[in-house]
Structure 1
Amino acid sequence: MARAVGKRPQILPFRREDLVDTPTDEEYAEIIRGHRWLGGESWKLVLRRVTREFFARAMMDKGALLTFFSLLTFAPTVVGAYSIATLLLANDTAATNRLITQLIRDYVPPEAEETATDIILEIVQQAGDHVWVLVVSILVALFSSSAYVRAFARNANAIYGREEGRHPVRTVLAMWALTFVVVLGAVLLAASLLLNEIVVRDVFEPVAEPLGLETAVEWLAGAVMPVWRWVRLPVAVLLGMVLVALLYNFTPNVRYPRFRWLSVGTVVAVLGGVLVYVGLTAYLRVFTRMSLLSAVGAVVAFLIALWIYNIVLMVGLSLDAEVARARELEAGLDSEAVIRVPPRGESAARRQRDVGKELRAAGEAIGPEE
């Protein structure tokens, strides 16, 4: 439903029944422009509120929920990647398994290599090289990933303290589109980390030989890959920052004046991801060799690392929300209770308001007869 000309956008605060006005997009752009840099007292308030919200919003529980949806994506994604690799290598299953083994040897600590190899090959051993396996696994992976994105959106709206305002159909379509972009970005991120001389030769040599392009493959493997080894980590960090920024900008029902590639929250999320990876690697290198149940320990460590990183994602988003609140307070807005960033949609919020009033009226009608 279109908003009347001159009427301010409205949001429905979380678990409340009264709509609240927010500035227009143009007004909010002026607010942000005039208060880009927070003062010391504002930063103190941001940190205090983030700390309080961590416990009040049960961030650890939210991280566990997101971890569950992450795991739903893991198996079909592995099968899809295996099927793609098999097709690229001219249906050469042996070459694909050799490539998987080499990649695990490059990126997994020696103590966990056997466990990782067994887990991956156990998942894909029944996949075969059929195209239908690829199609089904990709569809299942996208469906599971969309469940993750939708759950992230619900948590993001709760962090901003507002109900979803976009129309349900629009929300579903937006979440599916975002899921596709995020999954594609995650594939590019994984490819940037896994790309090496062996991958280049195994993937491109079967295509290059009939075309007489063996020299180009040698150039890629011998000249480009040594340089790529030095730049792939910065590229991976940048890709990770873009993926986090996409989640932070499009999942909650908030519309900032411009797309924020870089924010306090995205920096914290990316740095937190690096620390989680370093901690997981250190655990696998040190403790797996001390435990008789190293395989179980490695799986549990991976789950805990995934859980911690999902918590970090929530904390980063909470930081962005509280920074927005502090800017609004410095600009003189009444944002102590409600963050006033304009919404992406209002129709669902109005419907929820009306339903809430109907339920309250129905409840008031129940009582002792006079």
Structure 2
Amino acid sequence: MPPPQDASRSGRRPGWPWQLGGSAWRYLLRRTGHEFLRSRGVDQAAALTFFAVLSVFPAALAVVSVIGVVGDGPATASRVLDLVEQVAPGQVAETLRGPVTQLASTPSAPAAFIGGVVVALWSASTYVSAFGRAMNVVYQVEEGRPFWRRKLAQLAVTVLLVLLVTVVAAIVAVSGPVLRWVGEIAGVEEGTVQVWQVVRWPVLAAAVIGIVAVLYATTGNVTKPRVRWLGLGAVLAIAVIGVSSAGFGIYVSLFAGYDDTFGALAGVIVFIIWLFLIDLALVLGAHLNAEIERARELLSGEHAERRLQLPVRDDTTSARTARTERLDHERGELLREGEPLPPRPDTLPRRIRRRVETVWGWLRGHRSPRPPPT
């Protein structure tokens, strides 16, 4: 395997993590912490937590609806909540159990089902949108995609994440009796079923890491490197989530006294804090991914000390944003000098009028000529 110096001299970015070398790893780990603080990672996590609170129940509705089509929704939801109770502080599972169980047990007509899933996906996409804005900050790029293109991409990512979470829920829901029943039908030996009981937990961990890597890869207005690099940030995020959840659970159980202070609201408070810890870990993992990419670019000889050299997905609206900023500065100078402010050329009515004139001119140019008179 060629050392990092060879990759640098050849101008190629290292293709695997072990090609980075000790110096690069020390540099990128230290800079990950610096950039996390410099870009106000705590504030980004707080903003993501707000959108997570808005999105969690619509997302749960979408997942439970999909599970209800292919299996036993209430039973699967109960097993997933049992897993959440093992991972998260106890009040979190109790806070979610009532609403999620009600969603899973409520029947609906086909039209209402489809409409509910569509509305739920649209609502859940607000978190994907917020996460994309956070990724733009992490990778130091501006959002240049038009709204319709950006929203379609966010909805597609939301649908993909819902399907992946549904697969994870199915892995959790496959209990011992179900496995033995499936094994009898498929002719699988009992030993194989017992092995799956053990193996499914590493499979579950890998699936969760994959979900986080997909979230990293598909959000933001920047073309990311391959998923094998993004998986490193996902592993860090999952590890931090596990450690922080365990520590927070011990703190809540032994020292906090949320039940005495907040009463019936204790579960909600604990749930929001737990979501904040999750988003904090996700932002930290994204910064690690960005700094790994910076180290790869530096080792290949690219000037990435200040800004990453990754291409953006789209810059359609970047020129409009720059023009608006320039107009604001020019009008500010006129105001400072006491000059009258002329009408803005970029108001919505003027833009609509220009767009209509452009379309009309295009139609007139492509109109077939009239035949000559006979």
Taking structure 1 as the reference length, what is the TM-score of the superposition?
Answer: 0.72
Structure 1 unaligned spans of 5+: 1-28, 90-94, 206-212
1:306 corresponds to 2:275:
yes
| Structure 1 residues 39 and 356: alpha-carbon distance in aligned structure 2, compared to 1, 3 A threshold | farther
Deviation at 1:229, TM superposition (A): 2.0
Letter in 1 for 2:85: V
Deviation at 1:278, TM superposition (A): 3.6
Deviation at 1:80, TM superposition (A): 4.6
Between the two proteins, what is the percent identity of the paired residues? 29
User: Deviation string for 1:193-222 (max 9, x for gaps)?
Assistant: 232146679xxx9xxxxxxx99528x6896
Match of 2:167 in 1: 188
Counterpart secondary structure, 2:13:
helix
**Number of residue pairs the alignment of both structures matches:** 327
User: Deviation string for 1:168-216 (max 9, x for gaps)?
Assistant: 3332222221111112111212221232146679xxx9xxxxxxx9952
Question: In 2, are the aligned partners of 1:255 and 1:342 still within 8 Å (CA)?
Answer: yes
In 2, the alpha carbon distance for the partners of 1:275 and 1:64 equals 19
Match of 1:319 in 2: 288
Match of 1:244 in 2: 212
In 2, the alpha carbon distance for the partners of 1:114 and 1:265 equals 27
Match of 1:358 among 323, 327, 335: 327
Counterpart secondary structure, 1:108:
helix
Counterpart secondary structure, 1:32:
coil
In 2, the alpha carbon distance for the partners of 1:361 and 1:113 equals 52
| Structure 1 residues 76 and 324: alpha-carbon distance in aligned structure 2, compared to 1, 3 A threshold | closer
Deviation at 1:358, TM superposition (A): 2.6
In 2, the alpha carbon distance for the partners of 1:302 and 1:336 equals 39
Match of 1:208 in 2: none
| Structure 1 residues 360 and 304: alpha-carbon distance in aligned structure 2, compared to 1, 3 A threshold | same
Question: In 2, are the aligned partners of 1:99 and 1:199 still within 8 Å (CA)?
Answer: no
In 2, the alpha carbon distance for the partners of 1:363 and 1:287 equals 55
Match of 1:32 among 13, 26, 44: 13
Match of 2:57 in 1: 75
Match of 1:138 in 2: 117
Match of 1:231 among 195, 199, 202: 199
In 2, the alpha carbon distance for the partners of 1:358 and 1:198 equals 68
1:330 corresponds to 2:299:
yes
Q: With CA pairs under 8 Å and 6+ residues apart, which has the higher RCO, 1 or 2?
A: 1
Deviation at 1:261, TM superposition (A): 5.7
Match of 1:108 in 2: 85
In 2, the alpha carbon distance for the partners of 1:64 and 1:221 equals 49
| Structure 1 residues 214 and 193: alpha-carbon distance in aligned structure 2, compared to 1, 3 A threshold | closer
Question: In 1, are the aligned partners of 2:183 and 2:189 still within 8 Å (CA)?
Answer: no
Which is higher, the Rg of structure 1 or of structure 2?
2
Question: In 2, are the aligned partners of 1:104 and 1:116 still within 8 Å (CA)?
Answer: no
In 2, the alpha carbon distance for the partners of 1:114 and 1:253 equals 35
Match of 1:176 in 2: 155
In 1, the alpha carbon distance for the partners of 2:212 and 2:137 equals 18
Paired residues for 1:192-211 under 5 Å? 192-197=171-176
Paired residues for 1:55-70 under 5 Å? 55-70=37-52
In 2, the alpha carbon distance for the partners of 1:117 and 1:250 equals 28
Deviation larger for 118-127 or 142-151: 118-127
Deviation larger for 173-182 or 75-84: 75-84
Question: In 1, are the aligned partners of 2:223 and 2:313 still within 8 Å (CA)?
Answer: yes
Structure 2 unaligned spans of 5+: 1-9, 340-374
| Structure 1 residues 41 and 134: alpha-carbon distance in aligned structure 2, compared to 1, 3 A threshold | same
Match of 1:46 among 22, 25, 28: 28
User: Deviation string for 1:294-349 (max 9, x for gaps)?
Assistant: 86444433322221111111111111112222333333333232211122223222
Deviation at 1:362, TM superposition (A): 2.5
| Structure 1 residues 277 and 133: alpha-carbon distance in aligned structure 2, compared to 1, 3 A threshold | farther
Letter in 1 for 2:49: T
Question: In 1, are the aligned partners of 2:132 and 2:220 still within 8 Å (CA)?
Answer: yes
Question: In 2, are the aligned partners of 1:288 and 1:298 still within 8 Å (CA)?
Answer: no
In 1, the alpha carbon distance for the partners of 2:178 and 2:230 equals 32
1:253 corresponds to 2:230:
no
Counterpart secondary structure, 1:327:
helix
Deviation at 1:147, TM superposition (A): 0.9
CA RMSD of aligned residues (A): 4.0
Deviation larger for 54-63 or 121-130: 121-130
| Structure 1 residues 311 and 341: alpha-carbon distance in aligned structure 2, compared to 1, 3 A threshold | same
Letter in 2 for 1:324: E
Deviation larger for 140-149 or 189-198: 189-198
Structure with bigger helix share is 2
Letter in 2 for 1:45: Y
Letter in 2 for 1:264: L
1:368 corresponds to 2:326:
no
Letter in 2 for 1:345: D
